[in-house]
Amino acid sequence: MDVEQRLREFHAQAAPDPIAVKALLQATVGSANENPRTSFDQVVASVKQSWALYLTAASMACLVFAFTGFSFHEQGSLNERTERTVREVAMNHITHLKSEHESSSIVELDLVMQQLPFALKVPEHLRKNFTVAGSRYCSLAGHLAAHIKLRNIHDGKLSSLFVALLEQDLKSIGLESQTVAGVDVELFNEDGLFYALASR
Q: How many CB atoms lie within 10 A of CB 85?
A: 22
pLDDT at 172: 86
Which residues, in sequence order, are CB contacts of 62 under 8 Å at separation 6+?
Answer: 7
If asked whether residues 91 and 68 sit together in one domain, one would say no
Cα–Cα distance, 177 to 184 (Å, whole number): 7
R_g (Cα) of the chain, nearest Å: 32
DSSP state of 167: -
If asked whether residues 39 and 119 sit together in one domain, one would say no
pLDDT at 176: 85
Cβ(191)–Cβ(166) under 8 Å? no
pLDDT at 18: 57
If asked whether residues 120 and 26 sit together in one domain, one would say no
Q: pLDDT tens digits for the chain (200 residues)?
A: 454 555 455 445 545 555 554 554 565 445 445 554 555 566 456 645 655 655 554 555 444 444 434 333 344 455 888 999 999 999 999 998 899 999 999 999 999 999 999 999 999 999 999 999 999 999 999 999 999 999 999 999 999 999 999 999 999 888 889 999 999 999 999 999 999 999 99
Domain boundary among 32, 52, 74: 74
If asked whether residues 86 and 160 sit together in one domain, one would say yes
Residue 190: φ, ψ to 5°: -165, 130
Range of the domain at 117: 82-199
Domain count within the chain: 2
Cβ(85)–Cβ(196) under 8 Å? yes
Strand 193-199 relative to strand 143-152, pairing: unpaired
If asked whether residues 92 and 164 sit together in one domain, one would say yes
If asked whether residues 54 and 90 sit together in one domain, one would say no
pLDDT at 71: 36
What CATH number should be reported for the domain holding residue 96?
Answer: 3.30.200
Cα–Cα distance, 20 to 113 (Å, whole number): 78
pTM of the model: 0.62
If asked whether residues 65 and 156 sit together in one domain, one would say no
If asked whether residues 114 and 54 sit together in one domain, one would say no
If asked whether residues 9 and 94 sit together in one domain, one would say no
If asked whether residues 63 and 154 sit together in one domain, one would say no
